[in-house]
Structure 1
Amino acid sequence: MDEELYLIKDAGVSPRQIRLARVIIGILLLSAAVATPLATTPLLPIPGYMSGFGIAMVVVNVILASLLFAKGLIERKERTIRLGTAYFFVTVIFVPLIAAFPGGLMEAPIIGSTSSAVWLWCCWHTGFGLLIIRYATNSEETAGTAADVRRSILVTIAVVVLLTLAATLGLPYLPEVLRNGHDFFDDSTMLIPALVFGVNVIGLLCVMRMREEKPEQLWLMVGMVAACIDVWLTLYGGARFSLGWYFAKMTSLFTSLAVLVSQLYGITRLYHSIAGANQILMTQANQDGLTALSNRRCFDQVLEIEWNRARRDKRSLALLMIDVDHFKKYNDCYGHLAGDDCLRQIAQQLLRVINRPGDVAARYGGEEFVVILPNTDAAGARLVGERLLLNLTAASIPHAHNQPLCHVTLSIGVSAMVPGPGGSTSTLALAADKALYEAKDNGRNQVCIGRPELFSPAATSAFLMN
């Protein structure tokens, strides 16, 4: 149980994840090195490419932002909320970016002009890089609240609105970013792409300097490598629908996908740990701690289930009630630790005489045990009880105060019936309990069979009240 709770509390970075991250970074860098000399190669425009890419970015980033916001609230960490803000910013800014891109939603830009899409692209990568720097430099001890999430959402939307207005209505006041209406930037405006690229590189370095070894930071580093490659190839390609431009769009999506997949993997791993811990808790809730048999709670549940099944199938259900003879004298003579060991040995003998999957042995309380035998009549249940007595006699557990045998013995009461209308499990239990007392009165170390038909519903109710 402690191991399961440890897994839930601390899911660190495994060596396998580190190796995988290194392989992916290596593939990204190698692909960028191969694509850079070919980045300016013009390719044919793919109809609907930008709209499909935009929808994918919005969906991926809104899911990722939601997961990070929820995680930050659950863990009460403002740092995680800040990371969610970075991806929420990407989600929001993609709406005007696609609207301004020619061929994004319609053939002509819906807002602004062709240059507006370039400026919004610059705002996207610069803003994302700055938010990653903000995330990486924040103290993990700072508590995050729902107010922080609401504030982040409202501020992000407001900032994107202002940036959209600047890239559309304020376009005449901004430097020209397209040469001949086709290529990005020229020598007079190279400071802009240098700033965009520099912010993302600084964001990558800040993430790399984070000391916490967590999957979130490992895969964010992978994503930031992809973001830097995205900016580099877009600027180096110099035009839309070039090889570098297409390749950059794929790395843009990978920037968010790497972190999203890591979050989903973490959730899956957490669910697996919780499921395992829950299974252990369920076992402990239904198991007697001393004997490892089912406990009284489990017995009551199983008896009710088997009663209803037997009534539906019109089959006999049998119950054994077992009591250790003179157990108080045993404890007085040998001590309570020896008494506990005696009960464990009896439980082992019980498990040896019930062989079917549906049979259930439970500790009823103190030195009392019960056995549920589905699809068994009184004769079959008596046979099980007698076999238990023989096994216990063979085990020969010493008991000096249990004369004349001087070893531990049991008294067993048996009842069996086919449940009918108006009956209840109490009738079966009452008959077995009555048979148990008959076994004690007749000299102990024996099996007696009760007769459930002798107990009317009124007698059963009176027994339960007493």
Structure 2
Amino acid sequence: MTLPTGSVGVQARALAIRQALDHPRPWLHFPASLETAFRHWYVNGIRGARILLAIVVIALLVINSLSEWLIMRPDARFLPGAHFIQWGIEFPVIVLALVIHLSHRLRWLWDPALILAGFVIALGVEAQRVLGLTEGFELPALFAPVAIVSGAISARLRFWQALPAGVVFILAWSAIEIIHIGSIPQAANELFVGFVALSGTLVGLYGQEYQARRAWLQQEWNRLMAETDAMTLMPNRRVLTRLGSTLRARARSDPQAIALAVIDIDHFKRYNDQLGHDAGDDCIRRVGRALATQAHRELDLVCRLGGEEFVVVWHGRRAETLFTDAERCRQTVRDLAIPHPDGGDRPVTVSVGAVCIPASVDPDLDALYRCADAELYIAKRAGRDRCSVRHLQVSGPETIQAPAAVP
């Protein structure tokens, strides 16, 4: 699963993944923000195995029917009933589950279809056993549990799905066995073996899913760290580049005004030199968290490019609000009241350079960054702790030019 394109939720996702890695949950459930993504990844990963399983089961039905005709007496009275169960009930359900798994649109039905097919096959096998007993032909008692166990393991059913399904099956199977077997000790012995097989399956499915969850968390953490600043857990330059591609693709069908601000912490070198790198890192993290609150829409982005520099991208912002948006960033950091070692009542502040383009202009974040960076230096030369903004226009098909500064 790819990372969110904008800033909204990126830090929360990183914190949730790190917490899940550090404190694994034995009850096999992530916070809601992660659980949906994991299930999507898990079911897509096992889809191919389930499709293959359905094909194998159909092949086994064919082989079983042929063996019954060749090995058993063709006139065995239970065979018509057994073949009706196999081809009139089990086969259609297997085909239905196969068709459902071939469609991505029906992903939400994959697990229910698998569980239903498993029940139908297992209980169908048990029904054939009962038919055989009425005619003096005894099928192995554990055929049905073996079908359930092998199907659950091959299909990698999740533990909390397998547990209730397994309990329902063992109760139904137990009732059928007790009713149709005259010997209570024999029935009890068979039921115990079936219970042991099901218990072992559940333990195996638990371990299988636990390891799958750990592997997914590590994979997501590695992916997140590739596009996240490790110190602040904010998006990095790679996400900014990807956002540029997303905005250009979106502009073809839904053009929106784009604004970009470059923000730099004032006199940060003096802060770092006098208070130490640990204090400097903490300052950057606090400033980053404050600036992250300025991203509200899906494609808004706040990222750290390195050092004490941050970039904010606003999607769908009007030019009239550009100065207000930039000023809000500046004031948000000032309101943190982080003492600066220069003395006095002066807190840590930032300078902001911001530019925007109308919806009619093809968004080029590289060009916007260069223009906003130029505005940042205007703000710094003017005394720092202030904003400099411009509304940009396009000259020619690709070149962005900045007109006179907006007062």
TM-score, normalisation: structure 1: 0.46
Distance in 1, Cα, partners of 2:21 & 2:294: 34
| Aligned residue runs from structure 1 range 37-186, under 5 A | 63=53, 96=67, 98-103=69-74
Question: Deviation at 1:99?
Answer: 2.2
Shifted more, 375-384 versus 261-270: the winner is: 261-270
Q: Which residue of 2 aligns with 1:436?
A: 376
Question: Deviation at 1:389?
Answer: 2.0
Q: Which residue of 1 aligns with 2:244?
A: 303
Q: 1:387 aligns with which of 304, 328, 331?
A: 328
2:247·2:363 contact (CA, 8 Å) conserved in 1?
no
Amino acid at match of 1:302: L
Q: 1:329 aligns with which of 246, 250, 270?
A: 270
Distance in 1, Cα, partners of 2:363 & 2:225: 31
Q: Which residue of 2 aligns with 1:194?
A: none
1:414·1:435 contact (CA, 8 Å) conserved in 2?
yes
Amino acid at match of 1:322: I
- How far does the alpha carbon of each residue in 1:162-200 deviate from its partner, in whole angstroms, 9 at most, with x for none? xxxxxxxxxxxxxxxxxxxxxxxxxxxxxxxxxxxxxxx
Q: Which residue of 2 aligns with 1:21?
A: none
Change (3 A) 1:5 1:278: farther
- How far does the alpha carbon of each residue in 1:6-27 deviate from its partner, in whole angstroms, 9 at most, with x for none? 98xx999xxxxxxxxxxxxxxx
Q: Which residue of 2 aligns with 1:416?
A: 356
Q: Which residue of 2 aligns with 1:248?
A: 139
Distance in 2, Cα, partners of 1:368 & 1:242: 79
Distance in 1, Cα, partners of 2:137 & 2:349: 84
1:331·1:338 contact (CA, 8 Å) conserved in 2?
yes
Change (3 A) 1:454 1:437: farther
Q: 1:366 aligns with which of 295, 307, 311?
A: 307
1:307·1:425 contact (CA, 8 Å) conserved in 2?
no
Distance in 1, Cα, partners of 2:224 & 2:236: 10
Change (3 A) 1:316 1:244: same
Q: Which residue of 1 aligns with 2:291?
A: 350
Distance in 1, Cα, partners of 2:254 & 2:338: 41
2:265·2:348 contact (CA, 8 Å) conserved in 1?
yes
2:264·2:350 contact (CA, 8 Å) conserved in 1?
yes
Shifted more, 247-256 versus 346-355: the winner is: 247-256
Distance in 2, Cα, partners of 1:419 & 1:367: 30
Distance in 1, Cα, partners of 2:395 & 2:376: 15
- How far does the alpha carbon of each residue in 1:134-159 deviate from its partner, in whole angstroms, 9 at most, with x for none? xxxxxxxxxxxxxxxxxxxxxxxxxx
Q: Which residue of 2 aligns with 1:258?
A: 149
2:255·2:359 contact (CA, 8 Å) conserved in 1?
yes
Question: Deviation at 1:294?
Answer: 1.5
Amino acid at match of 1:261: A
Amino acid at match of 1:254: P
Amino acid at match of 2:303: A
Question: Deviation at 1:285?
Answer: 3.1
Q: Which residue of 2 aligns with 1:290?
A: 231
Distance in 1, Cα, partners of 2:303 & 2:268: 18
2:319·2:358 contact (CA, 8 Å) conserved in 1?
no
Question: Deviation at 1:408?
Answer: 1.4
Structure 2: 5+ residue stretches without partners: 1-16, 29-49, 80-121, 158-204, 401-407
Q: Which residue of 1 aligns with 2:7?
A: none
| Aligned residue runs from structure 1 range 206-217, under 5 A | none
Structure 1: 5+ residue stretches without partners: 13-59, 68-87, 109-225, 461-466
Distance in 1, Cα, partners of 2:289 & 2:132: 76
Report the structure number with the largest CA radius of gyration: 1
Distance in 1, Cα, partners of 2:393 & 2:22: 51
Q: Which residue of 1 aligns with 2:6?
A: none
Distance in 1, Cα, partners of 2:341 & 2:139: 87
The secondary structure found in structure 2 opposite 1:408 is coil
Question: Deviation at 1:424?
Answer: 2.5
Q: 1:315 aligns with which of 232, 256, 261?
A: 256
Change (3 A) 1:258 1:315: closer
Higher relative contact order (CA 8 A, sep 6+): 2
Q: Which residue of 2 aligns with 1:123?
A: none
Q: Which residue of 2 aligns with 1:192?
A: none
The secondary structure found in structure 2 opposite 1:361 is strand
Q: Identity over the aligned pairs, expressed in percent?
A: 23
Distance in 2, Cα, partners of 1:5 & 1:417: 44
Change (3 A) 1:380 1:297: same
- The number of residues matched between the two structures is 264
1:423·1:457 contact (CA, 8 Å) conserved in 2?
no
Amino acid at match of 1:100: I
Question: Deviation at 1:92?
Answer: 7.2
- How far does the alpha carbon of each residue in 1:20-72 deviate from its partner, in whole angstroms, 9 at most, with x for none? xxxxxxxxxxxxxxxxxxxxxxxxxxxxxxxxxxxxxxxx9x949989xxxxx
Shifted more, 363-372 versus 444-453: the winner is: 444-453
Amino acid at match of 2:327: E
Question: Deviation at 1:322?
Answer: 0.6
Change (3 A) 1:89 1:348: closer
